[in-house]
């Protein structure tokens, strides 16, 4: 019973802190709140997905100034055209992804670090994951 009481107390603290966050700035030094965005569906229905399973990601590649390409199992390519911070993206960066579960979703924050010294280069807020078809090479 003390374990349950501790867990409920922790949940109450988390909910109280979550209520104080707003979209104008950091709730504290380590956390930003990015509100969800409604996506209009195309004429053929949904054009992407909100979340992907991390265990299916085989590799990632940054498209400078545009987004992040995720190669999924089965050779499927998805692009995430980030909602915030696209101008910070460049090819030589490392993505630092921290999640609390097995999914990576729109609205999640991905930190960027420079590859040589490992210094933080900022963060991006993920958008919707869409099918990616790389441009044909001439």
pTM for this prediction: 0.63
> 137 pLDDT exceeds 60?
yes
Question: Cβ(61)–Cβ(68) under 8 Å?
Answer: yes
Does residue 12 register a pLDDT over 80? no
Q: Which two tokens stand for residue 130?
A: 């869409």
C-beta pairs of 95-100 under 8 Å, 24+ apart in sequence? 95/60, 95/62, 95/68, 97/54, 99/54
Mean pLDDT of all residues belonging to the chain: 74
Q: In this predicted model, which residue has the larger pLDDT, 4 or 31?
A: 31
For the chain, give the percent of residues with pLDDT over 70: 64
Distance CA 78, CA 34 (A): 22
Strands 57-63 and 120-125, bridge-based pairing: unpaired
- pLDDT tens sequence across 25-84: 444 555 555 555 454 444 344 568 899 999 999 999 998 888 999 999 988 999 999 988
């Amino acid at each position: 019973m003390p374990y349950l009481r501790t867990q409920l107390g922790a949940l109450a603290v988390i909910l109280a802190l979550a209520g104080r966050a707003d979209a104008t700035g950091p709730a504290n030094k380590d956390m930003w709140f990015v509100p969800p965005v409604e996506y209009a569906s195309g004429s053929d229905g949904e054009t992407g997905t909100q979340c992907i399973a991390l265990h299916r990601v085989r590799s990632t590649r940054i498209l400078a100034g545009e987004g992040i390409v995720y190669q999924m199992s089965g050779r499927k390519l998805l692009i995430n055209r980030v909602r915030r911070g696209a101008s910070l993206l460049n090819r030589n960066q490392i993505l630092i992804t921290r999640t609390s579960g097995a999914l990576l979703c729109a609205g999640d924050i991905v930190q960027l670090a420079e590859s040589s010294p490992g210094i933080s280069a900022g963060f991006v807020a993920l958008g919707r994951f869409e099918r990616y078809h790389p441009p044909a090479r001439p």
